Amino acid sequence: MILDRDAFTIEYDAARTTLDQMYVAIESLGYTPRLAIEDFDIDSMDEVLGEIPEPILAGVSSARQMGRYVFVDFYAEWCIACKALEEITLESFEVQSALDEFVVIKVDTDAYPESAVYFGVVGMPTLLILNSDGKELFRSVGPISADKLSRVLIDSQVQ
């Protein structure tokens, strides 16, 4: 099995374990857990996870009104990689220029753990681009260069 390519399904008894416990077990095996909802008979992601939690909900609402996308930076004060990403990538001129067209939200995962759980954040730093409905369009976990991130930001505006 190739970890970054192959997928598999796990069925479990929700009365005996939580989704968070399943995520931890899957991660300990070296896999990235994802919640697949295409096999369920539901009308929206809200039926599975509920409403998008704050502070992201406010950003999505603003983005909808402004006709923009949302850029979410999940970080923690203790995360050294998050601080490096902030200084090297996020504060660069090219990224800052591209972010002018986004609603930008920084989410401290210690202060807002429900937001991290909702979006399946399993490592930090995690960067997301969401459309104005809160649907994920892009995800980056770990370091990313300013050049690559600025290209992704600009390209997402063309879609």
Please name which of 71, 56, 27, 37 lies closest in space to residue 116, comparing C-alpha atoms: 56
Which domains are present in the chain?
A: 1-43 (no CATH), 51-158 (3.40.30.10)
Q: What is the pLDDT of residues 115-154, one digit of tens each?
A: 999 999 999 999 999 999 999 999 999 999 999 999 999 9
How many CA atoms lie less than 13 Å away from 20 in the CB half-sphere?
6
Q: What is the pLDDT of residues 26-79, one digit of tens each?
A: 777 777 766 544 444 444 444 445 688 989 999 999 999 999 999 999 999 999
Q: What is the pLDDT of residues 66-114, one digit of tens each?
A: 999 999 999 999 999 999 999 999 999 999 999 999 999 999 999 999 9
- Sheet containing 136-141: which strands, arranged edge to edge? 102-108, 69-75, 126-130, 136-141
Whether the Cβ atoms of residue 154 and residue 146 lie closer than 8 Å to each other:
no
What single-letter amino acid sits at 56? I
